[in-house]
Amino acid sequence: MKTVLLILRLLLGLVFLVFGLNGFLHFIPNLPMPSPAMSFFGALAATGYMLKLVFATQVVGGVLLLIGVAVPFALTILAPVIVNIFFFHLYLAPGGLPIAIVVCLIEIIVAWSRRASFAPLFA
């Protein structure tokens, strides 16, 4: 089971590192999105900081997961990003929903394996 958890942690870290870096470097072409999704991204871009913050959070969380340092912290900072990814695809771009669900499940599985670290939050 430890091997499966290691693979899942590394996979989650790789996903967030790659897509976070892509937000800055644009090495993966953007697929066409429905109009509401484009409006949402346009609004985030118009703030001047929000997309940078989201992509930086993804990079930091991804790196922490990949190197295995502060994994509960990485899962905590990535959780709101993952929730937003899920709802973005649920309501605005349903084509990516299956991948969003997989990312959610991986986050939950890895977080559950570290549940002792999160226990003080619920005490």
Q: Please state the domain extents for the chain.
A: 2-26+33-117
Which H helix or E strand runs over 65? helix 50-67
pLDDT at 31: 85
| Long-range Cβ contact pairs of 68-75 (< 8 A, separation 24 or more) | 68/9, 71/9, 71/110, 71/114, 71/117, 72/111, 72/114, 72/117, 72/118, 74/13, 75/107, 75/110, 75/111, 75/114
Q: What is residue 122's predicted lDDT score, i.e. its pLDDT?
A: 85
pLDDT tens digits, 107-116: 999 999 999 9
pTM of the model: 0.94
- Residues 89 and 79: their CA atoms lie apart, in Å, by 15
Q: What is the mean pLDDT of each run of 10 residues along the chain (123 residues)?
A: 96 98 95 93 96 98 97 98 97 96 98 95 86
